[in-house]
Structure 1
Amino acid sequence: MRNLLEATIADVREAAQNDSALLVSPTHVLAAAQAPHVATVAGYPTGRHHSLIKASEARLAVQSGAAEVWVAVDALLGDATALLTDLITVREACPQPVALGLIVPSSEHAAAAARAAAQAGFDKLIYATQEHLAEAETQIAREPAGVLPALVWPTAQPALVWPTA
C-alpha cells in the first residue's frame, strides 16, 4: 500500500491511475477513487477527536469510496470503557464489509487498545514500526486481539509515534 497522507491532490489523482492500493487523507478519498483499493484514516494523528467526529469522518470517507479506514485513538486514554465506546461508534458508522484497522498506540495502553479493537469488530491492527509490532505482539499474544492481522505502517510516510507516558 502506498502512503499518500502528505501528498497533494494532484499526486493522489496520478497515483490512483497507477497504483493498486493507496492510503490517503480523508479529504483525498474522492481523488483516489480510481485506485482498486483506497484506505484512509480517521482521528489521525492524535486520536483525540470526539467519537462522533471520528465516526463521521470515517463514514464520509467510506461514502466517498474508501474500502478501509485506519482509526487513531488517544494513546494516553486509560479508560477502557471510553476506548471501547470510541471504537464501537466508528464500527457502527462503518459496518462490514468496510475494513477497519486500529493504529495501535506506542504506549502502555497498546494491549488494551488492541483488545478493544477485537471486541469492537475491527479487522486489523496497524503498528508504527516493525519493532513496535514485535513489542506489542508479546503483550497481546494470548489475548483475543492476537488473532487480528497485524500490519506495519507503510514506510513512505512514517506514522506518528505516540508518547509513552
Structure 2
Amino acid sequence: MSEFVALSMLGASADQLKKIVEQMGTLPHIGNQCFRVVVDPTQITLAAQLVKDAQLPVMIISVAGYPTGRHHTLIKASEARLAVQSGAEEIWVSVDNTIADSNTHLSELIAISEACPDPVQLGLIAPLSGAPTHPAAHAAIQAARQAGFKRIISRQGSPELAEAASPLEFHVVDL
C-alpha cells in the first residue's frame, strides 16, 4: 500500500494551484506513491485539467459541507455529485459537530454516498468539538463506517479517534 500524502489547497487561488501542480511535476517519481490534492469545489475542473496535462499521478479530492457541516443534506449531496462530475475522484464530507446522533449522521452520509457513483471514494472529516472523545465525533465515525465510507480525516492526531475509526483508514491532514 502506498503512503497517504494529501496536500490541502483549500482557499488557494488559481495561480497558486497552477504553481503547485508545476512544482509537483518536478518531483522525482516515488514508487507507487499517489499524491492527493484537496481543492475547493470551484477549483476542481482547473485542478483536474492541470494534473491531466502534466500527466501526474495525482488524485483530486474536494469537500462537501466544508468547513462547518451545517448545510442541508441535499446541498451537500448536490455539492458532492457536482464535484465528481467536475473531476473529483474523492469527496471529504464535513458534518455538523453539534449533532451527536449517529442516525442523523447516517441518513446524511447515505444520501451523499448515493449521490456519488462508484468508484468515487468518500471520507469523513471528523468533527472536532474540543475533545476528540466528544460524542459527535464518535457518532459521525460510526455512521461513516455504516455508510460505506473509506476513510476518516482528522485535523488533529488522536488515539481515541483512530481507534474509533477502525477498520476505516484514519489520516491526519492539515486542512
TM-score > 0.5, shorter chain as reference:
yes
Q: CA deviation at 1:112?
A: 1.3
**Alignment size in residue pairs:** 148
Cα contact 1:62–1:68 (8 A) shared by 2? yes
What is the correspondence of 1:113-152 to structure 2 with a 5 Å cutoff? 113-130=140-157, 133-138=158-163, 140=164, 145-152=165-172
Q: Given the two structures, how large is their TM-score scaled by the length of structure 1?
A: 0.83
State yes or no: 1:60 paired with 2:85.
no
Paired AA for residue 14 in structure 1? K
> Which consecutive residues of structure 2, in runs of 5 or more, have no partner in the other structure?
1-5, 25-34, 52-57, 129-133
Query: Among residues 3, 8, 24, which one is paired with 1:3 in the alignment?
Result: 8
Counterpart-to-counterpart distance in 2, 1:135 and 1:78: 16
* Cα deviation digits, residues 46-73 of structure 1 (max 9, x gap): 0010011001111111111111110000
* Range moving further from structure 2, 23-32 or 107-116: 107-116
CA RMSD of aligned residues (A): 1.5
Structure 1 residue 86: Cα displacement: 0.6
Q: 1:13-37 CA distances to partner (integer Å, 9 max, x unpaired)?
A: 3323443431111110011013231
Matched to 1:55, the amino acid is: A
- Is 1:31 aligned to 2:46, yes or no? yes
1:16, 1:22 within 8 Å by CA — same for their partners in 2?
no
Query: Which amino acid in 2 is paired with 1:21?
Result: R
> Larger Cα Rg: Structure 1 or Structure 2?
2
Q: TM-score if structure 2 supplies the norm length? A: 0.79
Amino acid at match of 1:86: E
% same residue: 45
